[in-house]
Amino acid sequence: MRRSREDTAETRREIVAAASRLFRKNGIAATSIADVMGELGMTVGGFYRHFADKDQLVAEAIEQASEASTKTITSEAALVRAYLSKEHCDHPERGCPVAALCSEIGHEGKGPRRAFTDAVRAMVAALEPRDKKTRLADLATAVGAVVIARAVDDAKLRDEILAAARAAIDD
Amino acid sequence: MRRSREDTAETRREIVAAASRLFRKNGIAATSIADVMGELGMTVGGFYRHFADKDQLVAEAIEQASEASTKTITSEAALVRAYLSKEHCDHPERGCPVAALCSEIGHEGKGPRRAFTDAVRAMVAALEPRDKKTRLADLATAVGAVVIARAVDDAKLRDEILAAARAAIDD
DNA sequence: TGTACATCAGTGAACGCGCGTTCACTGATGTAC
DNA sequence: TGTACATCAGTGAACGCGCGTTCACTGATGTAC
């Protein structure tokens, strides 16, 4: 059953949004096309009316997540307050795609890696007023802290890492 | 054909060593038991004479990698020289398991996560002379920088990130 | 020390399962007159 | 504006494939006498 142009465009947006959430929450490899389409109450076949393959979806999902996430990083102060928060650690599905996908992206194709690199550049640019070396180091500290905090199975160690990173970026 | 006790123990060690390399290089999910056994010229069936399941292998592979990797981090100076090097970025298979597996470990079982957490603690302990907050922040910076440097598809950006992290840790 | 037997490390085929992708089909939407 | 037809978004079953794990089997090693 054919859909209207608006419905079609809306479906495409919803696929990217669902994929963006699921990839950040569960990982790219661990998220199937069926999982993504299931989020919209749809079946797998329809996916290929919108995308050539999974790689294309991964790239667009990273772009979309990057746009939304970069808006929240307007300064070093925001990096300390919002990025290095328990809230951000607890909700990767609506957080930074760089922190969520960093060690998995190396196993993906060219498209996804390009999108990831652009996301890193956008974060560096978002911290603009500071000199570039400081911005890059702060980015490494913030991403490293969130990724390790999420990976570790001890809440006390997690809080210590986040606090240490906050203190380091604040100078 | 039954093997001698020494051969059996040697096979077990080789399985862990091969897994440790492959997991760090290609990721845990992307490495199959058959891949690991293939490295030793063996078939899959034999694996289960040594391990209950893949989770157990993952945990032991992380422990082994952690022991070897932590030995190289004897000071902040070593973190700057060896850890934040192009060499370490180019060879995840013989590098730090925390940097190699950080964003993938959240999707693994309890055993692997426990081993990963122990690896983080070992790294923090290895930087001993400094106060804990500095050690934790330096760890976040070093891990974040290596992970992002590896993920990015632009060699110039990679080198800038490593250099910025080196400068930040050196004070 | 020599022999008979039990053990068990490793083989290779098979298991059920979920993956990405394809495809014939359906029927509402969009288009041409 | 109304009608006839072409288009194509979405369905759901099927494809080949690789996964983790199991299992009957083989034959050298380890053990008991």
Q: How many cross-chain Cβ pairs, A to B, lie less than 8 Å apart?
A: 172
- The tens digit of pLDDT for each residue in B13-36 reads 999 999 999 999 999 999 999 999
The nucleotide whose C1' lies nearest the CA of B3 is C9
Q: Report how far residue A8's alpha carbon sits from residue A160's, in angstroms, rounded to the nearest whole number.
A: 47
Q: For residue A130, what pLDDT band results from cuts at 50, 70 and 90?
A: confident
Distance of CA A98 to the CA centre of its chain: 5
B85 Rama class: left (phi>0) / alpha (psi -120 to 50) / beta: beta
Alpha-carbon span B36 to B44, nearest angstrom:
9
> What are the pLDDT digits (tens) for B130-162?
899 999 999 999 999 999 999 999 999 999 999
At B80, is the pLDDT very low, low, confident or very high (cuts 50, 70, 90)?
Answer: confident
Q: How far is residue B69's CA from residue B73's CA, in Å, rounded to a whole number?
A: 7
Does any CB of chain B come closer than 8 Å to the CB of residue A125?
no
Whether pLDDT at A18 is above 80: yes
pLDDT band at A44 (very low <50, low <70, confident <90, very high): very high
- Please give the model's pTM, rounded to 2 decimal places: 0.95
Residue A142 sits at φ, ψ, to 5 deg, of -65, -50
D5 C1' to A2 CA distance, Å: 15
Spell out the alpha helix ranges (H) of A83-131: 86-90, 97-101, 110-126
Query: Looking at residue A80, what is its pLDDT?
Result: 87
The C1' atom of C33 and the CA atom of A44 lie apart, in whole Å, by 38
Any strand C atom closer than 7 Å to B16 CB: no
Using the structure, give the distance in angstroms from the CA atom of B55 to the C1' atom of C9, rounded to a whole number: 21
The 3-class SS string of A22-41 reads HHHHHCCCCCCHHHHHHHCC
* Strand C nucleotides, any atom under 7 Å to a protein CB: 7-14, 18-24, 26-30
Q: What DSSP state is assigned to residue B153?
A: S
Q: How far apart are CA A50 and CA B70, in angstroms?
A: 47
By C-alpha distance, the chain A residue nearest B98 is: A148
Kindly state whether A59 is in contact with chain B, defined as any CB-CB distance less than 8 angstroms.
no
Nearest CA in chain A to B84: A140
Whose tokens are 């290596």? That residue is B146
Whether the CB of A67 is below 8 Å from some CB of chain B: the reply is: no
Please state, in angstroms and as integers, the Cα–Cα distance from residue A14 to each residue in A31, A56, A88, A142, following that order.
16, 15, 23, 30
pLDDT at A103 over 90: no
A32 touches strand D (CB under 7 A): no
> What does the alpha-carbon distance between residue B145 and residue A138 come to, in Å, rounded to a whole number?
10
Mean pLDDT (chain A, rounded): 96
Residues of B 42-101 whose CB lies less than 7 Å from any atom of strand C: 42-46, 49-50
Helix (H) / strand (E) containing A56:
helix A54-70
Residue B103 sits at the chain A interface (C-beta within 8 Å):
yes
Render pLDDT for B55-74 as a digit per residue (tens, 0 to 9). 999 999 999 999 999 999 98
Q: Does A104 touch chain B (CB under 8 A)?
A: yes
